[in-house]
Structure 1
Amino acid sequence: MRALIIDPALHSMGGHHYNATLALKAKLGALGIDHDCLASAYASEQAVRELDCTPCFTRSVYGRSYATPDEFEQQVRTTLDELSRALERRPRADLLILPCCDQVLAFALARYLRFRRAPHLLLWALYAPHHNKAFDDPSTTFLRRETRDAFAALQRVVGLQRISAFCETTEMATFYRDVASLEVGVAPGPGLVGGRRTGTRDGDRRGPPVVGCIGFANEAKGYRLLPEAVRDVLGHDPAVRFMIHGIFQGSDAPDQSTVFEALAALGPRVTVSSEILSPAAYLDWLSQIDLVVLPYDPAVYRTRGSGVFFEARRLGIPVLATRGCGFAQAAFDDGSGAEIASRSAASLADAIRHALQELDGMTRCALTAMRSGNQIDGILEAVVGKIVSGRGRRA
């Protein structure tokens, strides 16, 4: 059996695309499945070397303008041309894995497979048709047609029984079931971490509480709120520490150097980094945090998931997230998370101060809710079992 991971947005270490591919490769290797990977044409030398991936795609979901139907068609044609050239030089795969499938990739793949024997597909639709807006944003209604056409074409070519599709939130899965007429499950995308971190606040961890952020510092993630909010909390709590990590170079908000300079100037109780972290360093940073802060924009994150949230969830770390961010609702409900009332520095500071008072109880709830395993294990095993047994074979 042979598998191929396809992610046009896989560029470099430090984001969820890299972590997802790393997790998939580890599981495929454990299952004894030969595998390969196609990535961005601009993939770093390190990513190419460490993930053994092939640079391929000049465009990804993050590069769309969504301006006209012609723009969508051009994106599909470009992706199809690049995909065709890459696959011509490879043995046929029994399983294609798409960790971040949008309508462009779906349509390009449908066209490529039209006159070929179809493999099984395992895909995650992480975003709404517009990657930076919720699916119910009125300004994106016109994108539903291209999404419907793309996934309908993929179903016609591959067959419904050969497609295993997932979204990270219930709301997003419901949307894709309706628009794309797919059977869509709900599961976090492949992630970097699993298991239990060393030391927790209800066990052997000592010292002042640590509040932190980690990941790409895109505009919607609210890093600009942090300097004022952190200054406020430091002034009220003489013990709390902060660990703020954010990669802003290469994000959609590369002008945030002053944000990180302001954070670094707040004193020795604030540790700041904008470096790209290795998987081990990423896990080490996250594992030192007692409360993960996600002041995300609900206009963007109302219906989509968050890789950092799911990684914190797997490690048993409490979270704060802005009210209206759908990915965090489960944590709000079970007590392992608390809401930031509004997207402002004052609300963020208030939420942090309140959560610190309730941190022991939130930590116990987070450990109870902790998912010790990565769901990708069971998902991949089920798909491989289907392929081996011949289930889903087209007549």
Structure 2
Amino acid sequence: MSGTPPLFCIADQSLRDFVGHHFSYDQAVAEAARAAGFTPLVLGHRDLPADVACQADAVPAFRDDIWAQRQGVGPLRRRRDDLFRNRRFAEDLRAALPKDLPAGSILLAHMLTRRQLLGLAEVVDALPRHVTIVALLRYQTEFYDDDLSRRAFARLRRAVGAGARLRLASDSARLARRIGRLAGLPVEVLPIPHTPPELPRPAPAEGRALHLVSLGNARDEKGFFEILDAIRRLRSEPGGLAGLRFTLQANDAAPALAAAIDDLAMDLPEEVRLLRRALSPQAYTRLLAESDILLLPYWREIYEARTSGVLPEALGGGRPVICTAGTWMADELALHGAGILVADHDPAGLARAIRLARQSWTRLAAGAEAGRALCLARHGGDAFMRALVAPPPPPLPAEPPRRVQILYPWPDFLDRAAGASLRSNLMAEVVAPHVEEVCVMQDGAAPTTRRGNILVESLHERRLIRLAKSLGWRALRLLARPLSGAAHREEVLFPWLHLQRLADPFFRRRMERQIGNADAVLLEYGFWAGPVLRICERLGVPCVLTAHDVIEDRVPGSALLRRLTGWLETRALRRASHVVAVTPGDAARFAALGVTARVVPNPVDVAAMSRPLPAPPRRMLERLGIELADRDICLFVGSRHAPNIAAVATLRDLAARLQAGMGPAAPLIVIAGSAAAEEEAPGFIALGRVHAMALAALYQAARLALVPLPEGTGSSLKTLEAMAAGLPVLGTSVAFRGLAVTDGAQAAVEDDLGRWSARLPALLADPDLLARIAAGGRALAANYDHRRVMAAYLPLLGIPEDSEASQALPRLMADDPRLAPPAPARPRLPAFSGGTLPVG
């Protein structure tokens, strides 16, 4: 109708009371829409009380809120229920919308999940093309990574192609990029519309208690357990809670959290006030005005990319905050505001931050006041409407990853003993300073460990999955026995490693969560490639697959098993975004399969290998309980790997021959690592696995490293480590695969193992030659230092090669690495002087 103002319709199924930010969000948008010349229409839940409906000027419309679902049903019935909720959402929305929407009207549907997206797509198809539909997606990617959401996104893409005026949006740039990869459509970033009215500045802190407030309903992911624990810790310290007072909104808590709140209430300190009922908007604003500092220690796994309405209310009100490092909140704090960043899930750190806030209140308050205007310019109803009435912005530019996921198929990531473990650790250490967090998922059941901003978790498979895998492994071995024969029966392991995860729903769900929260994936070996690469492709997350060796070559006994292994390996290599090989020979093999691989050789930590010991090496070994005969030591280091076991057998025989020919003058051959169990014979000793300090002492005590490998793929880390330690190396050609060595210059190369009994004593008798070989080997190893070699992964992850590692965010205790918050991703966000408070 000519002259009729356009309608601005807000569809909010969860608007049914004052809990959460639905009311404040909808009210702020409606007021801004009215000021911009629209007629606002707010559609809420049918259970909306009359007083709330009156204050929000809302119309009851929806039978379900966004979380409505049938409980306790199987996956098939859950999917049917999700379809049912989508149909009801579409029916209710179409019934509530006016029949003739004026030109220029806008429909804003926010707080959507998979239970509404397909219904929204149906509404988009039905609405006239002069109506703009804005779908605001505010949750983690796992809320949109499912069959129905994929169908919805495909239908929305078709609608856009047919002329629909659809705008997908989020209120977090982190979320927008991730959801955009899922949706296949650009996702813009909208301001958060609700900010507080003009609040008075907090009074000077002298002579009064600092008022710390937790706003919103009590939820575990909002760090409420940590807040309660921090209060207990503070109370038990000398001085207790003097100079502090707390007001905690504690309504609508889940049972476990409600029990923890009740425990505190049984012996409630006079400095703590618990609010057990939802606050009206007026009471909420009064409490914000009375606050000095807001507590937001929200869990990073939930709020790393997700937003919280409390934060712009705090920053827009000129209030400092204590929030979790490496989250959207930390980004906002760096832009405008003041506060203290704490590590995730850390009540002790939160307690220290509260003490620090009391001590530094004047500086924090000044920084918060300085950032207030910028926050109000970026957020609020007016900013929200300006963004919506303007043309859609260009897609968000690419940015370096903030969170990198390493997937490691063995349970020994933290051991750094095997070559794969050491390489993956060195890679993680080079990548970590350039991102907020490196998450490692390894096999096994080891406890979760954090080292700086590197988080190492384990799969912790369920018992039923372990049983199913055990049965599958036995069945495959039985089936393969006629193919492999007794001599090669263990070769079936390699196709099994590729196959075991393909039908594992637990593993698939775990990978969906891990990859959904990542910006890039580093996949070590291709064994997990089947499910992992499908998930990466679906979510649009780039994956770099490192082929530590050519797995097909590990299956020489059975032609059929070899072909199966080769097919599985090639399939994985062809699907990865990028492939890394560790030697030029491996890269050439992959090239013949049509796979382009970048060569990133096995690295070595040169500085660690040459670090001085606190005592002479033999004395260090004695302190560690290792006593060796006073002879020349020749050292072999290796894990329990078939070529290493064969090398130990060669060295055992060599020791016997040298002992027979030279007697007490024969060198002592020492084996370190799990390649051999503890054993001692004349001229030969196997120590088993040894402490890292003992291994360093062995490298310095030895005169020669021995690497008689009969076979192997990839490249040998033990060779590079010995070279970096300044130890000359006698080895077969296989020991130096991928390395440009010349016999007598950087190494002593001898493939005829029968000649070692003469070659080894001759080398030991020529110290000048050993010194030249040691110097040449060390110079060669310097080219393979992990800081140089592993930098090749940075451009594959989208990190510029010349970028400098970011500085760590403020940490609460420099002497406790668990408390070090993750380093911020580049590019750095601008910060006000007097903004985020450096502590520690």
What is the TM-score normalised by the length of structure 2? Answer: 0.41
Counterpart for residue 440 of structure 2: none
SS of match in other structure, 2:376: coil
Q: How does 1:11-30 map to 2 (within 5 A)?
A: 11-30=16-35
Q: Does the residue aligned with 1:114 lie in a helix, a strand or coil?
A: helix
What letter matches 1:127 in structure 2?
A: Y
Q: Structure 1 residues 378, 228: CA separation in 2 closer, same or farther (over 3 Å shift)?
A: closer
2:227 partner letter: L
Amino acid at match of 1:221: K
1:303 aligns with 2:305: yes
Matched to 1:97, the amino acid is L
Partner of 2:779: none
- Name the CA distance, whole Å, in 2 between partners of 1:380 and 1:333: 21
Q: Percent identity?
A: 22
Aligned to 1:352: 354
**Structure 1 pair 326–267 and aligned structure 2 pair: CA distance change class (3 A):** same
Q: Give, as a single letter, the amino acid of the residue that structure 2 aligns with 1:113.
A: V
C-alpha contact (below 8 Å) 1:102/1:129 kept by paired residues = no
How far did 1:13 drift? 1.0
Whether the 8 Å CA contact 2:192–2:384 is kept in 1: the answer is no
- The 3-state SS of whatever aligns with 1:268 is coil
Matched-pair contact (CA < 8 Å) for 1:12–1:43: yes
Q: Residue 378 of structure 1 aligns with which residue?
A: 383
Would the alpha carbon gap of residues 8 and 116 (structure 1) be closer, same or farther in structure 2, given more than 3 Å must change? same
Alignment-derived partner of residue 112 in structure 1: 123
Residue 369 (structure 1) aligned to one of 371, 374, 380 = 371
Residue 140 (structure 2) aligns with: 128
Q: CA deviation at 1:14?
A: 2.8
How far residue 254 of structure 1 moved from its aligned partner, in angstroms, is: 7.2
Q: Deviations over 1:122-181 (max 9, x none)?
A: 2321102435xxx9xxxxxxx255434323322422568723333232211110221112
1:172 aligns with 2:183: no
For 1:325, the aligned partner's letter is T
1: CA distance between counterparts of 2:206 and 2:185?
Answer: 45
Q: Which of 108, 113, 119 is equivalent to 1:97? A: 108
Instruction: Describe the superposition over 1:5-50 as per-residue Cα deviations: whole angstroms up to 9, x where unpaired.
Output: 1112222113111211111121122234223222234333433333
* Equivalent of residue 53 in structure 1, options 33, 56, 59: 59
Partner Cα distance (2:266, 2:27) in 1:
31
Conserved in 1, the CA contact under 8 Å of 2:191 and 2:383?
Answer: no
3-state DSSP of counterpart to 2:242: coil
**Which of 85, 94, 97 pairs up with 1:87?**
94
Amino acid at match of 2:246: F
Deviation, structure 1 residue 274:
1.9
Asked if the contact 2:8/2:40 (under 8 Å) is kept, the reply is: yes
- Provide the aligned C-alpha RMSD in A: 3.1
Question: d(CA) in 2 for partners of 1:294 and 1:17?
Answer: 19
Partner residue in 1 for 2:345: 343
Separation in structure 2 between the aligned mates of residue 88 and residue 170 of structure 1, nearest angstrom = 34
State whether residues 57 and 79 of structure 1, in contact with CA within 8 Å, keep that contact through their aligned partners in structure 2: no
1:162 — aligned with what? 165
- The one-letter amino acid paired with 1:58 is D
CA distances 1:250-309 after superposition (whole Å, capped 9, x unpaired): x54575155156157433322221221111111110121111111221111122111111
Cα–Cα, structure 1 residues 126 and 69, in superposed 2: closer, same or farther, change >3 Å?
A: farther
Q: Which amino acid aligns with 1:38?
A: L
State whether structure 2 residue 22 is matched by structure 1 residue 6.
Answer: no
Consecutive unaligned residues of structure 2, counting only runs of 5 or more, are 1-5, 393-840
* Distance in 2 between residues matched to 1:205 and 1:42, nearest whole Å: 47
User: 1:242, 1:269 within 8 Å by CA — same for their partners in 2?
Assistant: yes
Unaligned runs of 5+ in 1: 136-142, 388-395
Secondary structure at the counterpart of residue 142 of structure 2: coil
Q: Could you say what secondary structure the match of 2:388 adopts?
A: helix
How far residue 229 of structure 1 moved from its aligned partner, in angstroms, is 1.5
User: Which runs of structure 2 are paired with 1:185-200 in the superposition (5 Å)?
Assistant: 185-191=188-194, 193-200=195-202
SS in 2 for 1:123: strand
Contact 2:14 2:45 survives alignment (8 Å): yes
Match of 1:140 in 2: none
Q: Which moved more, 1:1-10 or 1:35-44?
A: 35-44
What SS does structure 2 have at the residue aligned with 1:231?
A: helix
1:241 to 241, 245, 259: 245
When residues 100 and 85 of structure 1 are mapped into structure 2, their CA distance, relative to the original with a 3 A threshold, is closer
Task: Provide closer, same or farther for how the CA distance between residues 242 and 380 of structure 1 changes in structure 2, counting only shifts above 3 A.
Answer: same
Query: Higher mean Cα deviation, 284-293 or 225-234?
Result: 225-234
Contact 2:337 2:371 (8 Å CA) reproduced? no
Q: Tell me, in whole angstroms, the C-alpha distance in 2 between the residues paired with 1:82 and 1:127.
A: 18
Partner of 2:818: none
Whether the 8 Å contact between 2:17 and 2:23 is mirrored in structure 1 is yes
CA contact (8 A) 1:296 1:321 kept: yes
Distance 2:248 2:77 in 1: 41
User: Who is 2:687 aligned against?
Assistant: none
Question: What is the one-letter code of the residue matched to 1:276?
Answer: A
Aligned AA for 2:91?
S
Mean alpha-carbon deviation: is it higher for 107-116 or for 11-20?
Answer: 107-116
Q: Indicate if the aligned counterparts of 1:294 and 1:322 stay in contact, CA closer than 8 A.
A: yes
Deviation at 1:233, TM superposition (A): 2.8
Residues 78, 144 of structure 1: CA spacing in aligned structure 2 closer, same or farther, 3 A cutoff?
closer
2:295 to 293, 296, 300: 293
In structure 2, the CA distance between the partners of 1:215 and 1:63, relative to structure 1 (3 Å rule), is farther
- What is the CA deviation profile of residues 202-254 of structure 1, one whole-angstrom value per residue up to 9, with x for unaligned ones? 7x997321111010112211222333322333544522111111322xx5457
Give the number of equivalent residue pairs.
373
Q: Measure, in 2, the Cα distance between the counterparts of 1:63 and 1:201.
A: 47
Q: 1:5 to 1:335 in 2, by over 3 A?
A: closer
2:196–2:316: 8 Å Cα contact kept in structure 1?
yes
1:288-336 deviation per Cα after TM superposition (whole angstroms, max 9, x unaligned): 1111111221111122111111211211211112334333233157671
Cα distance in structure 2, aligned partners of 1:43 and 1:197: 29
Task: Check whether the contact 1:231–1:266 (CA below 8 A) recurs between aligned residues.
Answer: no
Q: SS of the counterpart of 1:349?
A: helix
Aligned to 2:593: none
Give the residue type in structure 2 aligned to 1:309. L
Q: Of the candidates 250, 262, 268, which is equivalent to residue 264 of structure 2?
A: 262
- Pick closer, same or farther for the CA change 1:335–1:14 going to 2, 3 Å: closer
Correspondence for 2:81: 74
Aligned partner of 2:221 in structure 1 is: 220
SS of the residue 1:15 aligns to: coil
**Residue type of the alignment partner of 1:44:** P
How far does the alpha carbon of each residue in 1:324-359 deviate from its partner, in whole angstroms, 9 at most, with x for none? 433323315767122222414322212211222222
Q: Which has the higher contact order (CA 8 A, sep 6+)?
A: 1
Structure 1 length as normaliser, TM-score?
Answer: 0.82
- 3-state SS of the aligned residue for 2:117? helix
Counterpart CA distance in 1 for 2:289 and 2:263 is 24
Distance in 2, Cα, partners of 1:337 & 1:121: 37
